[in-house]
Amino acid sequence: MASTASPSPRQRRKAGAITDVAGIAVGHFTDSRRPTGCSVIIARDGAVAGVDVRGAAPGTRETDLLDPTHLVDKVHAVLLAGGSAWGLDAATGVVRWLEEQGVGFDVGVARLPLVPGAVLFDLMVGDASIRPDAAAGYAACEAAATRTPAEGNVGAGAGACVGKIFGMNRAMKAGIGTASVTVGGVTVGALIAVNALGDVVDPETAQVVAGARTRNGKALLDSRRALLRGEAPIPVLAGTNTTIGVVATDATLTKAQATRLAVMAHDGLARSINPVHTMSDGDTLFALGTGRAGQAVGMMTLGTMAAEATAMAVVRAARAATALTLGKLRLPAAADL
């Protein structure tokens, strides 16, 4: 009689990377002076773009440009950065690098690179006066490649941590992760920097991977269950967390479809982060369509792929992270517990 046992998560899927999507390159800059940095996702030939902002305290650049009713239908890069609002300055360096490469929207007298972006708050980790700037954005572009990007404590994930509901002293290190899914000759990939207030949960097992720890710091607490038991969270400032990222596909998309893809990708955050989209998070996801596959698949399938790749990338961001100690602040990683 054939076995009915389910395959293990490892047997079920391979992670892949956002750079499996034709037309996408990724570069990181990590500041060695403290854990912060930025990541850039480049589409030199332009990509149809959309965005969906779910968190209540976002820090973003040029998201209005991506409204389906607005004029421009393609962008040339997306910036993800630490440093809170200061980190948006890194986009200036991305614009400068793209202009030097002759990449941008032809406005007659010049080519104008279009670079939306989003930031996360990592100022509590290390010296808050050190944050990504234009030079950091330029350096991330210089490092961009189509190979599988590094994960964990790099780029926009360098200073990211999770599980801060019960205080930073009980949080854990997270980072940036990537994954991809291919169906019928079309690929969807995700690159996600995870700095969530909540815990990271593996959707395949429903187990917490990284997040708030017990009072003695030696085990995972499970924030969802703790909150439902009535344990009081520690008050935090709005926007001091945030998960940001990009989903990209080689499918042919309209601008409205790109926006819908970003919307559906947030389902991946909801499966892999709990709680998510809180008043203290600025969760923002961009969607890019390069059209390199030369075909389209139904939005039902494409959106399902986007949510899956996003959830996988979140879990990888937690699993790839390494522990960090800065003075009295100790942030263990998933591997340590």
Average model confidence (pLDDT) for the chain? 93
For each of the domains in the chain, give its residue range(s) and CATH number, in order of start. 14-336 (3.60.70.12)
Q: What is the pTM of this model?
A: 0.94
Residue 7 has pLDDT above 80, yes or no: no
Could you report the per-residue pLDDT of 195-236, keeping only the tens digit for each? 999 999 999 999 999 999 999 999 999 999 999 999 999 887
**Average of per-residue pLDDT across 309-330:** 96
Phi, psi (rounded to 5 degrees) for 331: -120, 95
Could you report the per-residue pLDDT of 272-297, keeping only the tens digit for each? 999 999 999 999 999 999 999 988 78
Res 2: pLDDT: 35
Residue 4 has pLDDT above 70, yes or no: no
Could you report the per-residue pLDDT of 135-165, keeping only the tens digit for each? 999 999 999 999 999 999 999 999 999 999 9
Residue 299 has pLDDT above 90, yes or no: yes
Residue 1 has pLDDT above 70, yes or no: no
**pLDDT confidence band for 239 (50 / 70 / 90):** low
**Average of per-residue pLDDT across 177-192:** 97
**Average of per-residue pLDDT across 110-117:** 96
Could you report the per-residue pLDDT of 29-47, keeping only the tens digit for each? 999 899 999 999 999 999 9
Res 235: pLDDT: 81
**Average of per-residue pLDDT across 83-109:** 96
Res 13: pLDDT: 54
Res 169: pLDDT: 92
